[in-house]
Amino acid sequence: MDFRFSDDQLSIQSIARDFAQKRIAPVAADFDKSGEFPLENIRQMGQLGLMGIEVPVEYGGAGMDSIAYVLAMIEIAAADCAHSTIMSVNNTLYCNGLLKFGSEEQKRKYVTPIASGEAIGAFALTEPQSGSDATAMRCRAVRQGDGSFVINGKKSWITSGPVAKYVLLFAMSDPDKHARGITAFMIDTARAGFHCGKTEPKLGIRASATCEIEFEDYHVPAEDVIGSEGHGFKIAMGVLDAGRIGIASQAVGLSRAAYQATLTYAHDRKAFGQSIGSFQMIQQKIADMKCKLDAAELLTLRAAWTKQQGGRFSTEAAVAKLSASEAAMWITHQAVQVHGGMGYSKEMPLERYFRDAKITEIYEGTSEIQRLVIARNETGLR
């Protein structure tokens, strides 16, 4: 296997690292405390090509590949998970979905401003009563005589919802067909009938701005249907596979930050006349953290490589997401433990890493759902 990265991949990694350490890391704690959306940073990330890494240049993106995306995501997440969450949704859920299933006109109209950082995109699948069971959605799209649709209903936990210009929405257009009755739509939030609900007071990734959105007799013209009517569930599941690579990358970046902080603290903190890193119990933690971190990173890169080959990558994405998210939760837990009382203090970033890590086990498919995906793909049984 060739583990070398191309010059282009190393370039976007360097760009992301430089921006993350100079512009994001110094303000991450402040944004976490206030919950304010980091709009100016996101716009600058768009100008650097970070909001549409796999988007072709003609649509406003960087025109790079999945491995470049993983490398950049890791760097942003190592500075702040909230920024990387916004970046992940823009890249893998919103832009990726439209690039794969949108028409040429839809790509130019709805991808270009998002990939370039001029506007923010969102992805709306989850509802108050339907999380893992996406087919239980109640948001309804009723077809009109001219081919347009009228949408009514609610969506919840919409990342970037309060600030999004465009939303990739999934609604039930034919309830009798269940999964085959779901259709994908392009939503312009400036149109009448679209409303933002309360912003969620989250445990972590607080600056990413998550809210409910509501549709009240919202009119969607026929040209804003994504793909074909009834193909929405297939689109959503395909997009989530790519999204899981993004969350795995986020978890790797977060884990790396917690691990590096722990290494530094183990050297600097003295107890009983020596660095605590010389104690065997601390050394065991560091060794286990390193193993889990490296395994998560390699599995994530494997998933990205598999995606680039053009075939199915559902299992690889689920394995990466499950492994990396659970590693992040374990590594940040151990990092807080090694730091002792200081790890529990808001004066250091460890408690933020710990809070941010939990969501990686939940969104874009819980750990339980990842295990179902992996097992079903392996056994062929449902």
Known catalytic residues are 364
Q: Tell me how far apart the alpha carbons of residues 194 and 314 are, in angstroms, rounded to a whole number.
A: 33
Task: Using DSSP bridges, classify how beta strands 166-172 and 121-124 pair: parallel, antiparallel or unpaired.
Answer: parallel
Q: Is 361 left (phi over 0), alpha (psi -120 to 50) or beta?
A: alpha
| The dihedral sign for the CA sequence 63, 65, 68, 72 | positive
- Greatest Cα pair distance in the chain: 81
Question: Which residue, among 363, 371, 375, 356, has the nearest Cα to 322 in the 3D structure?
Answer: 371
The single-letter code of the amino acid at 143 is R
Q: Tell me how far apart the alpha carbons of residues 103 and 115 are, in angstroms, rounded to a whole number.
A: 16
Q: If DSSP codes are grouped into helix, strand and coil, which group holds residue 90? A: helix
Q: DSSP alpha helices (H): ranges in the chain?
A: 7-19, 28-34, 39-47, 66-79, 81-88, 96-101, 104-106, 112-115, 232-268, 280-308, 314-339, 350-359, 367-379
Return the DSSP state at 50. Answer: T
Q: If DSSP codes are grouped into helix, strand and coil, which group holds residue 164? A: coil
Question: Which residue, among 260, 161, 167, 240, has the nearest Cα to 202 in the 3D structure?
Answer: 161
